[in-house]
Each structure stands twice: as structure tokens, then as C-alpha cells.
């Protein structure tokens, strides 16, 4: 509401008036209208007649609501208001409506004391105006002795300044170069600056040193360009060569000592607190990265095998060594490579790199050649370095390169799930394939910046690699293709040419590989004119899958079940789904589980699989009418014609269990907008918080928590804890086990973060199931059938009204109520086959239900179901809003057949134009900001844009960023703030009154220290010989209160003597397994951090739990890294468990003995990195062996 103000004293300022009004509006007379002090806006009209007197005596007061305005006027008329300034101001209702932008601003943003606001504006103005003159710009390398080696410098007196940018939170150095147009900027965000050191070097040279966690951003402003261009380095001689290596320590020599005082003052004003004051020695003569040395190194790589050369370049790119250091190591590596082979040499270098990281972590000086010799002696013939690999043949060793704006990281090889193309070639050729990720510094995703010409940077940085090839360790790789999931992570495949060992005369390169995949034009004549669609078809062959060699008796092609409406609109009810016989479903499962030893998997075979078969993709579910090894495919599944010899069925996912149901922020926002009350969400969040807090009370509670959030699954911690809590051990808790308690602490932290930052609230009794079609036509429109079989063997049939949705939800019609028919009716198709752990959709009616749920289909989409009979509180007041219906985005086509160069251009365009995240975020924030919530016209518009953005990878039609509706206000809801921002001290966020805001504020998260630079823990070391191990285990001092050890020992003693003696072969073998395990775990913890800094490493507890405690401004990056962490540890643990179990010559008693030795060894070396987690692996193996023994006895 706007009020008109008269008789304002001419000498009063807006700040004084606002302070005066605040004494009233924030007083006791208004407290009942708002829990927090209200915000309001004051405007004084300028005096146009008398410029000497600034204000006219009139003004406007805008209040957040009519209720506030009416109360204020009534109190004024009653004479109950007294201002702190003695004035005779008169207030009345304004003839004008309040401006929408002002009203929205005061409704959303918190009240800020105008004096504080004035001070903030004064600070920003001061920082904009004041700069520091720089005479020399130097890029340096921090040597191990603490000396800065100056690798590149520019005498830039009169051409270079330093400033603080308060809005962008950056320290910026601006410089110009003679004869080169433009003004160049070196931007260093505060978040990437480890510390700034301002000191007087040698008593005469004033210098500022900026130590960074990531290279700075290089940018240029050109006279004729509206946006700045981003660069990989400065455009001056030799800087491009040293920038990837010497961009983390920047030294700025100031014009005078007074500038150091000036810098410290500006740092205080900018609230930049990472300051240090200590003299750092410098040396201009060391030249650790001269062009001559870099050329020598690159030329030397040609004499090494690719596997060794990759590790050498990776060692340099990781910044663990400089060029001079690595050149000294080359003769030794060459000798090792020739005498012990390329595999040994590459493994030795990986171990050397890990040891160097450890020395950086512990600030330990090291003689590198001596360390390399020591490692070679310790590792002997290499057996201790052989990786622990699961026997599953669907994995391969993948090499990975991450290309940033300036730097490049080389990782691997790591064990990854294979794909059709990789499996097509001999394992000896697998190292010719390279996974390449395009990332911003710190491995974050590229972010849209309205001030930067992002497309230009993508073209100039990434374009040359995709179009002309990537040179790594003296080898040239060319762009090959990508999978759809990898494209979303901006990751693609490259390959270097090779001669196939199975066909030595055949030279294989990217073109040859593409040619072998199939005929892509036969089923779609226009396909080759659309680079995005063509690449999407290629991507099928690069999807990570498990292959099963089942000889299918018959492949039947049946038409899709379709409907055509009077309007001419067509829908497919079987979009992406076919069927298989019961026999084929069993045979697929038998082959998938054939690699699992000794009956570990007793889960019934799935009734639905997501597959790739020749040129087809989609879902298949069991049809009880099919006989033999039969499969039915539909035209919607067949994307291209593949060669006949590609006849393996590839399994992308087997649906062997139901998925749990979790709420999330967009779903809660939709449900609230449709009338589900806040109290419903709060009740289930409170339950989840209570469950989280209770996990410390019992092993069973801890197991439930970890299972709910998928924590500790690689190490099977939930299963182990459940077994320990039950008969015959009945352990309640492990209070004296420090490692277990820290695991719990990380688990609690993870669960609370998921609740607070994602609103990931579990709803036990609701389910997430994959969708399939009722091919027999039994179900009526809006009916579903769902049979849930839990892992415990309980059968549940959903009955009655069900609230169904599919993630992502973004349109009011994306949440619907359908009817579940309950138990299979007599004589129905579901009595014959219930297709357990799926939701079966009707094929009758005018429109497929999945298409109403965010444009879903049956090609592997999963659906979220809440049975409203059990959860009536989730019933929305506004039900079944008409679903969204959008025209498909037109394909972006060329006027000619496309080439892989066109596909490369699409990849670059996609990296720049991938706006799905921006659209979803804007939708959620606008729904929070707008009084209309999810029904705001901008939200409805965003839902349509989101649909097109999701289709972009296949249509090639990008969403124009300018078409995305902007936020209603720059002030954002508090729940949207990154973890790294303190919202209590920031005026950029308001307290959201929506459900997700209130849920967000209801949870406090204790700080948890995870990945670290300083935490000390003994490193993995090579355990001694058998005699030393025997002594260590014989002298093992087990505390009386170590309930876990004594409980396990009591169970094991039933079948063997737990005091030994052991077979010498078993003891030495377990020692080697432990050494290999601990070395690999250290590598995982060093390379799976949010920071690439050599002093960062995950804790052992984080690795076991499968979480990363460090905060990140990009939660998606943290999520991706946690997924990678879990995949890596899962494969390591699987390989370790198989090694403990032994080969086929080891019986179950030997398996138990080997596992017990591993358990004792972990206790003996419990202070070493990796020992504690190895103990949990051994414990799980003991429990499995005991279960196997019991099963044999029962049989």
C-alpha cells in the first residue's frame, strides 16, 4: 500500500526519515502483524523549483500490505504515533498504486538499517574508485623449500592496477599490453584464494602474493565487443606455455610500500579475511617451467609406452612435480619400463604420485629419485600393486582427461563399466579410448555469465580439441562420440588409432568405429541432417551396460499401441517398451549373476529390464504368453539397423527391487500449490530428523538410516549392522569404536544436508517404480497395477487412489491421482504374471498417463507413487489439473548430411546452451517469489521451456537464454543460497514463507570436517613378512570392552581356532591384499575431492560412508563426485572381497580363515590409512562365510 506524505521537513534526508519511521513500524503496535521487522520504502520528491533545497516536502511511503497501511493511518488519526524526529508530517492514502517492483522488493527482502545500507553503498563506491598501482606482474611456482620461482613476468609500470570487485567478490588485476588491443583482466574469486600475503621483500620490494586453489580467470574487454571474452592465458609470448603450471601463485610488485598498507585497508573494507604477512623468498633464476624444458619433456615422452607416458604427463599436470624434477626421473623410469615392463612402470608412477601427495599433505621434504627407488624396492615384483578387480567382465580400465579453461588433469586408469564399442575390441586396445570432460576450474561445471561471451570461449578453448584432435603424452586422439548421460556432464569419448590385435591388418580410428555401428538412415531418412539426433543414435553404443550372451530364439516386431484423436494428434501407449518371455528373463538374470560367487545373490530374478539390443533401446517386461527365449520389439524402440553379429543383449538396468520414495523441493512446491498443507511435509521431515538423530542409539537404527540414504552400501555397512544387531550376536551399539562413531557422524551430516538442502524427505510405504505397459489391455483409463516385493520378501499390492508423479515435476498437471486395482483379479493377466516391482499403465483412453506426467514415456522412466489410502494427508485440494501439452521442438537440421565435425559443433553449442538447470531453478524461485506460486504465468511458461530444454540433446534446438523469464526480484529465497554463503550476514536472501523455506530453516547442521589438508593419519605402508605379521597378530591387545571383536570371535571359534597357526601362504596372501587395498583407497581419496589441490584428500570414513563433507557452491558437482566415489569404492570392495574369498580351490572353511586373518590384520595395523575400512570389508566377508557354512550344514 502506498501512502502520500506531506509537510516533510526540508532538511530531513531519506535515511533519517526511514530511521524515524522504523521506530514506529517496528514497535509494539505492529508486532502482531509480523514476526520479523517489516521492510518499507521511502521516497522524497525532489524540489524542482528551488535546486538549493534538495527535497520538496512531499514523499511516498510504501508498506508491504494494506493491513499495515490501514493500521498506520488509523494510529496517525488517533494521535498514537510519535516520531523520533519532532515533525508535523501528514499521511494519507496515495492516489497511485504502489509500483510492483518496489512492493515485491519490500515483501521479499528483509529490512536493512538505512545507515548500514549507506555504509555498504559507500564501501562499494570506494572499492570501485580505489586501485593499487602494480609495477611487475609475476607468475610463480612454489618450490618445496618455500621459495617462489618466478616463471614469467611483465614489467607493467603504468599499465597495471589491482582492485577489489565487491559485487563479484573478486580481486582483479587489470593490465594492457603495448601493440595488443583490449584491456586484460586476471580475476581471482575470493573463494579460490587460499591466502594473500602482503610484505616488504628484502626490506625494499613491496609485493603482494596471491596463493590460489585454482588458476584465475583470464578475460579481455575489447572496444567493439559488448561482452568480455574469456581466455586460457594472457596473449603475450610464453605465457600460454607456463599458464597451466604456474598460475596458482601470482606475485604483484607494487609501486611503493604505501601500496601494501593501501591493499590491507581495501581488503578490510572488502571483508576479505584470508590475509597473511610473512616474507616469502623469490628466485628468478630457477626457471622450473621454461619453454626449453617443456619441449624436452614432451619429446622425451615419445620413447615411453602410452600407459607410462600418460602417467608421466599426469604427474606433471597434477602439479606434484615441476619439469626439472620430472626430467631427473625419466632415466630411472625408462630403466624400470624396459626391465619390468610397461604395466609395472605405470603402476609404480601411480604409487609415486600418491606418495608425493602424502608428502605435500604432511609438509614433508622429499628426495624424489630416492623415494622412487625406495618404492621400487618395497613393491618388489609388482604383485603388491596389482589392482583388486571384480571378476565381472563388464568392466574395463578407463583413462580420463579433464580439460579446464587453463589447466588439464589426467586421471586413471580407473575401473569403469564397459559399453558396446569397448567390448567390440580386444582388451589390449582398450587404453586407446579416452574419456574427456570439459570443466571449469576446480572441476566445476561451466556457469552462464551474462557479462562473458561464453560461446566464443567454448569455440576457442574446446573447439580445437573436438575439431582438430587432442594431443596427450605425444599421442593424438580424435573425437569419437558420447553417451546421453555423459553429454549432460559435458563428457565425451576420444580415441587414438590402433591396429586391432584380433585383426592385425585392420587399422581402427574414429571413422572406422562409427562405420561399424550400423545403418542410421534406413529407418529415418532425415536423421543424417540433424547432428544432435544422429549423435543420440550413436550414443546407444556408448551407454554403460552389462552384456549377456543369450541366444534369443525369436525376436518379434509388433506395432506400437497407438491412438489418434479427432484433432489428428497421435499418442503411443507403448512408447519405448517391449516384452520378453519368463524364460529369457530368468536366463538374463542367471548370466548377470554368474560372476557372483557362492550364491551371494538370492534375490528373485527381475520381471523388467532396461536394454540395448542391436539398434533398439527401451524397456522389456515379462509377458506370460511368450514361450522359449523370445523377445518382442516395437517400432518406437528400434532406432537404427545394427549388424547381425551385434546380437548380445545389453542390460542398462535390472529392476530387481522397488525404489524408495523421497520428496524433493519441486515436488513439495507443486503439492503445496495444489493444496497439500505444510504440516504434512513438516511431520515427515520431523520423523526423518528424529530417525537421523536416533541412529547413534542402536546398530539397527544406524542400518536403517544408512540404507535410506544409500550410505555405506559399497562396504555393505547397513547389512553388516543389521546382522550384528540380530541373533545370535544381539549387539546394541559400538560405543568404543571410534571409526564407527565417525562413520555415524558423517552419515548424520549427509542425511541432514539432504533434508535441509534438497528437502529429500523419505516416505516409508510409498514407492518409486519403473513404468511398463499393460500389453493385454486389461486396465481401464486412469487405472494402474503395482505389485511391490520388498527385499525381505513381503508382497504389497497398491489399492485405491494413488498420487503419482515423475521427476522432474514442473507443471501443475504433473501430479495426478489414479486408481490402483489392488491384488490381481481372478483370471486376469496379472494373476498369470504380476510383473513385480513395476507400475503397469493402461493402454486405453485418449492419452497415455505417462505422457501427462512431465512428458514421461516407458523407456526406463521411474514413477513416484503415494497410496492415498495409507497417506490421506497427501491428498491435494486441487486435483488433476489439466496436464501440459506442448508441441515437440522442431529438429535443427542442416541442408546436407551431417559429419562428425557437425556433431562436434553441436557438443560445443550444448555446453554453452545447456539451460535445464537454470530453467528449473528459476521456476522454483519464481514460484516462491510470486503470490500466484506455481500458477504464475512465468512458471507456466518455464514449464514449456523446460520441456524443450530436456529435448535439446535430441532435437538440437537450443533454448534462447533471453527467452527464459527472469526472477521477480534480485533478492532470492534463503533456501536457494549455496552452502558456502552465510545467509545471516547477507542481504541477498529473504526468508521464504513457502513450505520449502520453512522446512529449510527447521534444520540445523553441525559442522563436519571431512576432506582435509592437515589431518594426520599414518599412511598405507607395505606390511612386513609372515613372521612380522604373526608377531603383530600374536601381540594384538584386544580391549575387554571391544564387544564387536569378541562377538565375532565367539562365532568364528565354533568352526576354527581363532588363535592360529595359519598357513603361511594364506597370511602372506592376505597381507598383499591389504597392501593393494590400502594403496588403491588412498588413490581414490586423493582424486575424488572437490578440490584438485595436492594437499586435499578425503578421510577414510567419508570413503566408507560414500559422502563428501566439504561444502560446495555447486551441489551438482558434489553429487557427481559422490557417485564417482561410490562407484570406485564399490569396485574396490568387490575385488577385495573376492580376493579374500580366494579362488575355486579355496573351500568355505578356507574362506572363513582368510577373512579372519584379514580382520586380525586390520586390528594389528589400525593406525594405518585403510586398515579400519579393510577391517569392515573382512568383517562382511566373515559374516558371508558363516552364512555359507550354515547353508551347507542345513543342506
542, 545, 551, 555 alpha-carbon torsion, rounded to 10° = -70
Same-domain pairing of 147 and 264 = yes
- Contact criterion met (CB below 8 Å) for 565 and 750: no
- Stretch among 266-270, 273-277, 655-659, 1122-1126 having the lowest mean pLDDT: 273-277
- Asked whether residue 899 is domain-assigned, the answer is no
In the 8-state DSSP scheme, what is residue 79? Answer: T
Of 239, 261, 283, which residue constitutes the final position of a domain?
A: 283
SS percent in the chain: helix, strand, coil, step 5: 40, 20, 40
pLDDT at 598: 44
Give me the percent of the chain exceeding a pLDDT of 70. Answer: 95
User: Could you give the CA distance from residue 8 to residue 425 in angstroms, rounded to a whole number?
Assistant: 85
Higher pLDDT: 812 or 1094? It is 812
Q: What is the pLDDT of residues 639-685, one digit of tens each?
A: 999 998 888 899 999 999 999 999 999 999 999 999 999 999 999 99
Residue 94, pLDDT > 70, answer: yes
What is the span of the domain harbouring residue 798? 657-663+762-885
599: pLDDT confidence band, cut at 50, 70 and 90? Answer: very low
Under a CB-based contact definition with an 8 Å cutoff, are residues 130 and 233 in contact?
no
Cβ-contact 640, 528 below 8 angstroms: no
Q: Are 799 and 786 in contact, with CB atoms under 8 Å apart?
A: no
In a domain, 492, yes or no: yes
Condensed to tens digits (0 to 9), the pLDDT of residues 384-423 reads: 566 777 766 688 999 999 999 999 999 989 889 999 999 9
User: Buried (b) or exposed (e) across 789-813, using 16+ Cβ within 10 A?
Assistant: beeeeeeebbeebbbbbbbbbbbbb
The pLDDT of residue 860 is 95
Helix axes 678-694, 699-708, angle to 10 degrees: 130
Cβ pair 254, 263 in contact under 8 A: yes
Strands (E), 202-238: 205-212, 217-221, 229-231
Q: What integer is the mean pLDDT of 967-973?
A: 88
Per the domain annotation, does 341 fall within a domain? yes
CA distance 105 to 101: 6
**Is residue 102's pLDDT more than 60?**
yes
Rg (CA), the chain: 33
**At 595, is the pLDDT very low, low, confident or very high (cuts 50, 70, 90)?**
low
Domain boundary among 55, 79, 111: 111
Q: Are 1188 and 1057 members of one domain?
A: yes
Q: What is the mean pLDDT of residues 204-223?
A: 94
pLDDT at 597 over 60: no
171 and 30, same domain (yes or no): no
Q: Is 682 domain-assigned?
A: no
Secondary structure (DSSP) of 1094-1145: TT-B--HHHHHHT---S--S-HHHHHHHHHHHHHHHHHHHHHHHHHHH--TT
Quick one: pLDDT at residue 874?
98
Residue 429 has pLDDT above 90, yes or no: yes
- Structural domain contains residue 792: yes
Cell numbers representing residue 538 in the block: 550413436
Boundary residue ending a domain (601, 630, 654): 654
Question: What per-residue string of b and e applies to 856-883 under the rule 16 or more CB within 10 Å gives b?
Answer: bbbbbbbbbbbbbeebeebbbeeeebeb
Q: What is the pTM assigned to this prediction? A: 0.90
Where residue 601 falls among pLDDT bands split at 50, 70, 90?
Answer: low
**pLDDT higher than threshold 70 for residue 490:** yes
Q: Residue 1113: exposed, middle, or buried by beta-carbon count in 10 A (0-12, 13-18, 19+)?
A: middle
Q: Is the dihedral of CA 955, 957, 958, 963 positive or negative?
A: negative
On the question of a cis peptide bond just before residue 721, with omega within 30 degrees of 0, the verdict is no
**Lowest-confidence pick of 686-700, 996-1010, 1161-1175:** 996-1010
What local confidence, expressed as pLDDT, does residue 1095 receive? 60
Tell me which of 407 and 982 has the higher pLDDT.
407
Rounded CA-CA distance 927/920 in Å is 11
Which residue is it, cell 521427476?
A: 807
Are 785 and 925 contained in the same domain?
no
Cis-peptide into 413, omega within 30 deg = yes
Closest listed residue to residue 628, CA positions, set 587, 591, 577: 587
Number of folded domains that form the chain: 8
**pLDDT, tens only, 1007-1048:** 765 555 434 444 555 555 556 666 666 667 777 678 899 999
Residue pair 1091/1128 in contact by the 8 Å Cβ criterion: no
- Please give the full DSSP string across 843-903, using - where no structure is assigned: --SSS-HHHHTTS--SSS-EEEEEETTT-GGG--SS--PPPP--PPPPP---SS---HHHH
Q: How confident is the model at residue 54 (pLDDT cuts 50, 70, 90)?
A: confident
Do 367 and 446 sit in the same domain of this protein? no
Co-location of 860 and 931 in the same domain:
no
More confident residue, 1008 or 1059: 1059
**345 and 443 assigned to the same domain:** no
Q: Kindly report the CA angle at 259 between 254 and 262, in degrees rounded to 5? A: 145
Same domain (yes/no): 414, 465: yes
Pair (1060, 1180) in one structural domain: yes
Please report, in angstroms and rounded to a whole number, the separation of the first and last CA atoms in the chain.
Answer: 82
Contacts of 1049 (CB under 8 A, 6+ apart): 1058
CA distance 1 to 1038: 74
Mean pLDDT confidence for 1105-1110: 93
Q: Is residue 732 part of a domain?
A: no
User: What does the pLDDT look like over 177-194, one tens digit per residue?
Assistant: 999 999 999 999 998 899
Q: Could you tell me the pLDDT band of residue 985, with boundaries at 50, 70 and 90?
A: confident
* 351-355, 533-537, 570-574, 701-705: the lowest-pLDDT one: 351-355
- Tell me, what's the pLDDT at 238? 92
- Dump pLDDT digits (tens) for 889-904: 899 999 999 999 999 9
- Read off the pLDDT band of 1093 (50, 70, 90): low
Q: How far apart are CA 482 and CA 464, in angstroms?
A: 17
Residue 711 lies in a domain: no
Q: Which helix (H) or strand (E) holds 787?
A: strand 783-789
Sign of CA dihedral 974, 975, 978, 984: positive
Q: pLDDT band for 473, please (50, 70, 90 cuts).
A: very high
| pLDDT tens profile 113-148 | 888 778 778 888 888 889 999 999 999 999 988 899
Percent of the chain's residues with pLDDT above 90: 68
Name the maximum alpha-carbon separation found in the chain. 105
Do 874 and 965 lie in one domain? The reply is: no
Mean predicted confidence (pLDDT) in 269-277 = 86
- Alpha-helical regions (H) of 130-274: 239-242, 258-269
Rounded mean pLDDT, 959-984? 88
33, 71 contact by CB (below 8 A): yes
CB-based contacts of 268: which residues, under 8 Å, 6+ apart? none
**Grid coordinates belonging to 121:** 553503498
In terms of DSSP H, where are the helices of 1007-1063? 1026-1034, 1043-1052
Q: How far is CA 749 from CA 170, 665, 742, 867, in A?
A: 30, 19, 11, 30
Give the H or E element holding residue 154: strand 148-155
What CATH code is carried by the domain that includes residue 150? 2.30.29
The DSSP code sequence of 671-729 is HHHTT--HHHHHHHHHHHHHHHHHTTT-HHHHHHHHHHTT-STTTTHHHHHHHHHSTTT
467 within a domain of the structure (yes/no): yes
Same domain, 19 and 167: no
Give the whole-angstrom CA distance, residue 179 versus residue 1129. Answer: 54
Which domain CATH number covers 65? 3.30.70.330
Nearest to 608 by CA among 373, 796, 775, 800: 775
- Do residues 130 and 252 both lie within one domain? yes
Amino acid at each position: 500500500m502506498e501512502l502520500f506524505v506531506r509537510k516533510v521537513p526540508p532538511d530531513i534526508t531519506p535515511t533519517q526519515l526511514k530511521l524515524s519511521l522504523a521506530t514506529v513500524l517496528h514497535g509494539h503496535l505492529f508486532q502482531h502483524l509480523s514476526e520479523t521487522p517489516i521492510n518499507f520504502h521511502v521516497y522524497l520528491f525532489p524540489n524542482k523549483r528551488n535546486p538549493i533545497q534538495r527535497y520538496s516536502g512531499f514523499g511516498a511511503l510504501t508498506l508491504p500490505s494494506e493491513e499495515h497501511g490501514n493500521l498506520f493511518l488509523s494510529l496517525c488519526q488517533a494521535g498514537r504515533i510519535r516520531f523520533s524526529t519532532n515533525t508535523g508530517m501528514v499521511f494519507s492514502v496515495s492516489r497511485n498504486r504502489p509500483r510492483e517492483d518496489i512492493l515485491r522488493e519490500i515483501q521479499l527482502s528483509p529490512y536493512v538499517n538505512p545507515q548500514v545500507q549507506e555504509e555498504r553503498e559507500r564501501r562499494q563506491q570506494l572499492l570501485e574508485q580505489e586501485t593499487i598501482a602494480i609495477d611487475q606482474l609475476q607468475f610463480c611456482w612454489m618450490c618445496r623449500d618455500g621459495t617462489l620461482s618466478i616463471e614469467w613476468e611483465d614489467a607493467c609500470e603504468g599499465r597495471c592496477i589491482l582492485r577489489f570487485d565487491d559485487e563479484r567478490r573478486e580481486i582483479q588485476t587489470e593490465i594492457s599490453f603495448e601493440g595488443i588491443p583490449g584491456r586484460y583482466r586476471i580475476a581471482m574469486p575470493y573463494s579460490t584464494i587460499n591466502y594473500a600475503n602482503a610484505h616488504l621483500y628484502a626490506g625494499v620490494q613491496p609485493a603482494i602474493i596471491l596463493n590460489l586453489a585454482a588458476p584465475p580467470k583470464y578475460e579481455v574487454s575489447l572496444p567493439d565487443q559488448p561482452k568480455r571474452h574469456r581466455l586460457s592465458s594472457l596473449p603475450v609470448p610464453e605465457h600460454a606455455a607456463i599458464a597451466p603450471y604456474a598460475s596458482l601463485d601470482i606475485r604483484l610488485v607494487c609501486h611503493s610500500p604505501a601500496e601494501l598498507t593501501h591493499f590491507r585497508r581495501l581488503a578490510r573494507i572488502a571483508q576479505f579475511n584470508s590475509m597473511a604477512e610473512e616474507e616469502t623468498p623469490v628466485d628468478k633464476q630457477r626457471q622450473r617451467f621454461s619453454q626449453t624444458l617443456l619441449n624436452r619433456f614432451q619429446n622425451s615422452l615419445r620413447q615411453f609406452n602410452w600407459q607410462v607416458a600418460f602417467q608421466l604427463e599426469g604427474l606433471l599436470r597434477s602439479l606434484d612435480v615441476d619439469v626439472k624434477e620430472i626430467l631427473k626421473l625419466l632415466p630411472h623410469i625408462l630403466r624400470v619400463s624396459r626391465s619390468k615392463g610397461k604395466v609395472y612402470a605405470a603402476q609404480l608412477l601411480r604409487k609415486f604420485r600418491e606418495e608425493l601427495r602424502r608428502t605435500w599433505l604432511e609438509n614433508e621434504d622429499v628426495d624424489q629419485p630416492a623415494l622412487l627407488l625406495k618404492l621400487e624396492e618395497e613393491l618388489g615384483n609388482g604383485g603388491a600393486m596389482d589392482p583388486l578387480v571384480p571378476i565381472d567382465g563388464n568392466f574395463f580400465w578407463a583413462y580420463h582427461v579433464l580439460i579446464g579453461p587453463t589447466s588439464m588433469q589426467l586421471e586413471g586408469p580407473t575401473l569403469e563399466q564397459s559399453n558396446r564399442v569397448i567390448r567390440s575390441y580386444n582388451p589390449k586396445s582398450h587404453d586407446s579410448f579416452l574419456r574427456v570432460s570439459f570443466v571449469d576450474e576446480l572441476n566445476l561445471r561451466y556457469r552462464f555469465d551474462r557479462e562473458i561471451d561464453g560461446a566464443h570461449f567454448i569455440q576457442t578453448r574446446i573447439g580445437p580439441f573436438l575439431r582438430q584432435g587432442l594431443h596427450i603424452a605425444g599421442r593424438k586422439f580424435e573425437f569419437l562420440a558420447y553417451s546421453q548421460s555423459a553429454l549432460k556432464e559435458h563428457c565425451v569419448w576420444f580415441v587414438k588409432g590402433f591396429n586391432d590385435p584380433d585383426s592385425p591388418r585392420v587399422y581402427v580410428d574414429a571413422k572406422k568405429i562409427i562405420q561399424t555401428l550400423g545403418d542410421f538412415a534406413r529407418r529415418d531418412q532425415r536423421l543424417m541432417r540433424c547432428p544432435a539426433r544422429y549423435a543420440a543414435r550413436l550414443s546407444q553404443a556408448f551407454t554403460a551396460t552389462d552384456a549377456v550372451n543369450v541366444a534369443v530364439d525369436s525376436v518379434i516386431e509388433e506395432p506400437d499401441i497407438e491412438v489418434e484423436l479427432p484433432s489428428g494428434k497421435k499418442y503411443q501407449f507403448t512408447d519405448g517398451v517391449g516384452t520378453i518371455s519368463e524364460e529369457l528373463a530368468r536366463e538374463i538374470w542367471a548370466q548377470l549373476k554368474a560372476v557372483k560367487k557362492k550364491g551371494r545373490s538370492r534375490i528373485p530374478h527381475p520381471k523388467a529390464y532396461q536394454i540395448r539390443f542391436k539398434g533398439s533401446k527401451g524397456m522389456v517386461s515379462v509377458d506370460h504368453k511368450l514361450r522359449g527365449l523370445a523377445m518382442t520389439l516395437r517400432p518406437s524402440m528400434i532406432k537404427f539397423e545394427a549388424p547381425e553379429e551385434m546380437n548380445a543383449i545389453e542390460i542398462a538396468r535390472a529392476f530387481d527391487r522397488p525404489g524408495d520414495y523421497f520428496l524433493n523441493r519441486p515436488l513439495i512446491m507443486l503439492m503445496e500449490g495444489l493444496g497439500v498443507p505444510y504440516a504434512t511435509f513438516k511431520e515427515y521431515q520431523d520423523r526423518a530428523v528424529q530417525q537421523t538423530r536416533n541412529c547413534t542409539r542402536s546398530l539397527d537404527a544406524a542400518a536403517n538410516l544408512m540404507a535410506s540414504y544409500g550410505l555405506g552400501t559399497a562396504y555393505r555397512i547397513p547389512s553388516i549392522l543389521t546382522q550384528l544387531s540380530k541373533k545370535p550376536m544381539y549387539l546394541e551399539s559400538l560405543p568404543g569404536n571410534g571409526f564407527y562413531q565417525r562413520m555415524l557422524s558423517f552419515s548424520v551430516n549427509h542425511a541432514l544436508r539432504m533434508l535441509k538442502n534438497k528437502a529429500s524427505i523419505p516416505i516409508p510405504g510409498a514407492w518409486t517404480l519403473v513404468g511398463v505397459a499393460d500389453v493385454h489391455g486389461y486396465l481401464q483409463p486412469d487405472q494402474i497395477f503395482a505389485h511391490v516385493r520388498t527385499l525381505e520378501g513381503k508382497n504389497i499390492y497398491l489399492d485405491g487412489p494413488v498420487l503419482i508423479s515423475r521427476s522432474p515435476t514442473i507443471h501443475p498437471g504433473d501430479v495426478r491421482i489414479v486408481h490402483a486395482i489392488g491384488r490381481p483379479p481372478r483370471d486376469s493377466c496379472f494373476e498369470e504374471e504380476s510383473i513385480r516391482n513395476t507400475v503397469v499403465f493402461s493402454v486405453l483412453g485418449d492419452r497415455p498417463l505417462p505422457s501427462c506426467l512431465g512428458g514421461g514415456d516407458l523407456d526406463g522412466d521411474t514413477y513416484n507413487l503415494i497410496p492415498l489410502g495409507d497417506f490421506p494427508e497427501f491428498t491435494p485440494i486441487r486435483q488433476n489439473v489439466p496436464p501440459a501439452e506442448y508441441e515437440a521442438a522442431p529438429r535443427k537440421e542442416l541442408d546436407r548430411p551431417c559429419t562428425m565435425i557437425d556433431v562436434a559443433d553441436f557438443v560445443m553449442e550444448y555446453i554453452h546452451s545447456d539451460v535445464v538447470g537454470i530453467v528449473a531453478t528459476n521456476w522454483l524461485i519464481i514460484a516462491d517469489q510470486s503470490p500466484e506460486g506455481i500458477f504464475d504465468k512465468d512458471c507456466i511458461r518455464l514449464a514449456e521451456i523446460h520441456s524443450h530444454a530436456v529435448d535439446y540433446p535430441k532435437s538440437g534446438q537450443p533454448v534462447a537464454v533471453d527467452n527464459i523469464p527472469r526472477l521477480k526480484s534480485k533478492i532470492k529465497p534463503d533456501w536457494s543460497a549455496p552452502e558456502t554463503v552465510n545467509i545471516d550476514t547477507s542481504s541477498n536472501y529473504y526468508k521464504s514463507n513457502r513450505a520449502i523455506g520453512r522446512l529449510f530453516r527447521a534444520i540445523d547442521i553441525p559442522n563436519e570436517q571431512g576432506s582435509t589438508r592437515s589431518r594426520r593419519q599414518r599412511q598405507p605402508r607395505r606390511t612386513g613378512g609372515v613372521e612380522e605379521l604373526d608377531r603383530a597378530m600374536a601381540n594384538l591387545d584386544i580391549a575387554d570392552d571391544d564387544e564387536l571383536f569378541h562377538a565375532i570371535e565367539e562365532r568364528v571359534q565354533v568352526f576354527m581356532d581363532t588363535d592360529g597357526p595359519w598357513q603361511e601362504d594364506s597370511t602372506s596372501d592376505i597381507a598383499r591384499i591389504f597392501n593393494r587395498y590400502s594403496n588403491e583407497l588412498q588413490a581414490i581419496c586423493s582424486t575424488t575431492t572437490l578440490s584438485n589441490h595436492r594437499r586435499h584428500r578425503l578421510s577414510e570414513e567419508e570413503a566408507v560412508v560414500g559422502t563428501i563433507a566439504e561444502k560446495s557452491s555447486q551441489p551438482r558437482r558434489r553429487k557427481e563426485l559422490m557417485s564417482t566415489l561410490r562407484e570406485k569404492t564399490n569396485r574396490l570392495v568387490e575385488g577385495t572381497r573376492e580376493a579374500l574369498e580366494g579362488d575355486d580351490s579355496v573351500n568355505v572353511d578356507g574362506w572363513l580363515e582368510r577373512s579372519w586373518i584379514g580382520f586380525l590384520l586390520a586390528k594389528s595395523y589400525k593406525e594405518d590409512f585403510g586398515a579400519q575400512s579393510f577391517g569392515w570389508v573382512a568383517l562382511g566377508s566373515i559374516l558371508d562365510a558363516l552364512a555359507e557354512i550354515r547353508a551347507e550344514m542345513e543342506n
